[in-house]
Amino acid sequence: NVITYDDVHIDFTWKEWTLLDTSQKNLYKDVMLETYRNLNDIGYNWEDNTIEEHCASCKRHERHEGRQTAEKPSVYTQCLKAFMCYSHLQRHKRTHSGEKPYECNLCGKPFANYSHLKTHVRTHTGEKPYECNQCGKAFARQSTLQIHKRTHTGEKPYECNQCAKAFAQQSTLQMHKRTHTGEKPYECNQCGKAFSHQGSLHVHERTHTGEKPYECNQCGKAYARYSQLHVHERTHTGEKPYECNQCGKTFACYSQLQMHKRTHTREKPYECNQCGKAFSNQSTLNVHKRTHTGEKPYECNQCGKAFSQHGNLQIHKRRHTGEKPYECNQCGKAFSHHSNLQIHKRRHTGEKPYECNQCGKAFSHHGSLQKHKRRHTGEKPYECI
């Protein structure tokens, strides 16, 4: 005789289920899981008889009772994960099937469950219904608000078991752990570059696609990262929430504050592995490395001239456009580069910050000091060919 699931499972009516105490209900679930494992081991076909069916009697009431007792009577056969509500089980199944039945009618992006779609729609509407009662900052998600509140309380409940460093978010702890393991599980399928965090991979992929999904609703400027947009928005509001506790100088983003602090500590943690020269920030090191490789990734689309830094390309483009965005507020003279304006202003103030350490003569800009020093050294670097 062929044994079927109906031959070995135990079913309760709702009335019978309510008469069981907690230990009896737990025993029931343990027995049913053991039954499942035994049948699975002998190769039982679950296609038509699934373990979830054993909960038919309790599913009708599990939403009410499950929420009150925190019991999880619905079990999924594929991974044995348990859920309080049948609807939660159904949502979970989609992580295995890849089904995404809820689609955004604004951009067409699909989602596995309705709550994720609802949250996504707020990226289009700008709705932020969850507000911090301490600083008034608003968020699109309740979970994001809860994480934000830890910036006020200083709470960091997630601790690394290797170095004891603590974090405000579980996801941040998981990423941090990869600094110990060196694990980079997310790989770009175009260039093969690997990342420790999926979000970093998604952002990187935009360097291939050119996608900039985050747009400023004041000036229309677009960014590949939300954090870049968030920092940019402060150029409109003037907000500078990060303050140096040594000199009081304020900054629009945290990374700028961290770099600034190194002007006090003289710390230079980023070292070139070719010449040993050290820098206070990673971006400056990256630019420096191009002096070794000769790489010039930023090219002018008008004359083809290439540059190692994006900023230098932007300045160069003004030669074509004639743009001079930096204007002296004393005499109205305009300049294409901010540093030229700063040098010019010293004509008004008389400031000469660059002093020769041999004769004490002072100059308004660094280039003039360098030329002056050659009078002492006798250096003549420019030779007629």
Tell me what pLDDT residue 303 has. Answer: 94
The Cβ-side half-sphere exposure at 229, using a 13 Å CA radius, reads: 15
Output the pTM of the full model.
Answer: 0.39
Nearest CA to 29 among 67, 81, 91? 81
Q: For residue 370, what are the CA distances in angstroms to 48, 80, 337, 360, 365?
A: 85, 73, 20, 13, 9
Give me the pLDDT at residue 53, please.
Answer: 40
Quick one: CA dihedral 199, 205, 210, 211, positive or negative?
negative
Closest CA to 49 of 87, 86, 96, 6: 6
Phi-psi bin for 85: left (phi > 0), alpha (psi -120 to 50), beta?
A: beta
Return the structure tokens found at 206: 């935009």
Q: Which amino acid is at 56?
A: A
Q: Are strands 166-167 and 158-159 parallel, antiparallel or unpaired?
A: antiparallel
Phi and psi of 214, rounded to 5°? -105, 110
Instruction: Please measure the distance between the N-terminal and C-terminal CA atoms of the chain and give it in whole angstroms.
Output: 101
- Provide the residue-wise pLDDT of the chain in tens; the chain has 385 residues: 445 555 555 666 566 667 777 777 777 777 776 766 666 665 655 444 443 444 433 443 444 444 444 444 455 555 656 665 566 677 777 777 778 888 889 888 888 878 788 888 888 888 898 899 989 999 888 888 888 898 899 889 889 998 989 988 888 888 888 889 989 988 999 889 998 888 889 888 988 888 898 899 988 889 988 888 988 998 899 899 999 999 999 988 888 898 899 889 989 888 999 999 999 888 889 899 999 999 998 899 999 999 988 888 988 998 899 998 889 999 999 988 888 888 899 889 999 888 999 999 998 888 888 889 888 988 888 788 7
Indicate the burial class of 55 (C-beta count within 10 angstroms; 0-12, 13-18, 19 or more).
Answer: buried
Look up tokens 């039945």; give the residue.
101
Q: Are 106 and 96 in contact (CB under 8 A)?
A: no
CA distance 188 to 273: 25
- Give the residue carrying structure tokens 């699934």: 50
Element (H, E) at 205: helix 198-209
- Alpha helices by DSSP H, 127-197: 142-153, 170-181
- The single-letter DSSP state of residue 294 is -
Determine the pLDDT at residue 359: 93
